[in-house]
Amino acid sequence: MTTDIQDSNRNSQDTYPLNGLEKHLLNDFQYEFPLVSRPYQQIAEKLGTSEQVIIDSLKQLQEQGFVSRVGAVFRTNSIGASTLAAMSVPDNQLESVATMISDYSEVNHNYQREHHFNLWFVVTASDEHALNTILDDIEQRSELQVMYLPMLEDYHIDLGFDLTWT
């Protein structure tokens, strides 16, 4: 079982009703996001609305926990350095350590697992030295050991999927 700690704090609107525009934003732009100087303007033109409406809608989706971020995904370690990391955190410290880790701009996400190593996260940095500095800092601040799990072989997993609306 995995639980995304960042998303577990989602606003209490678990039944937030999505409008048609929001559904298009969540579904239609998982691939081929416009690589232009004003991508939201281009999306707005395709959807028959304004750039500001698109920006506001994405911000609302983020506030509601439907979107964690909008941005490019690069092949691991093709730009900079990254790693998966894990920690064994006492239950009474889990929330505070997860919050501390989430405060690092270099941490993409963290999540809880039901295992001895119960807190997992991904760190990206400009290079190996910067990556190690961040991991060392996390160890010092938490007073817990970080297990560094560098990628040995990469696999492409398509994380996009067609959303079905009922």
Give me the pLDDT at residue 161, please. Answer: 75
- What strands, in cross-sheet order, belong to the sheet with 119-125? 2-4, 107-113, 119-125, 81-87, 146-149
Give me the pLDDT at residue 71, please. Answer: 75
Tell me the average pLDDT across 21-27: 92
Helix (H, G, I), strand (E, B), or coil: what is residue 112? strand
| Cα Rg of the chain (Å, integer) | 18
- 111 in Cβ contact with 121 (< 8 Å): yes
Give me the pLDDT at residue 74, please. Answer: 62
Tell me the average pLDDT across 3-12: 40
Give me the pLDDT at residue 13, please. Answer: 45
- pLDDT classification of 10: cutoffs 50, 70, 90: very low
Write down the residue that tokens 């009474």 correspond to.
92
CATH number corresponding to 81-149: 3.30.70.3460
- 42 in Cβ contact with 29 (< 8 Å): no
- 112 in Cβ contact with 98 (< 8 Å): yes
∠ CA 101-105-109 to the nearest 5 degrees? 55
- Host H or E run for residue 97: helix 94-102
pTM > 0.85: yes or no: no
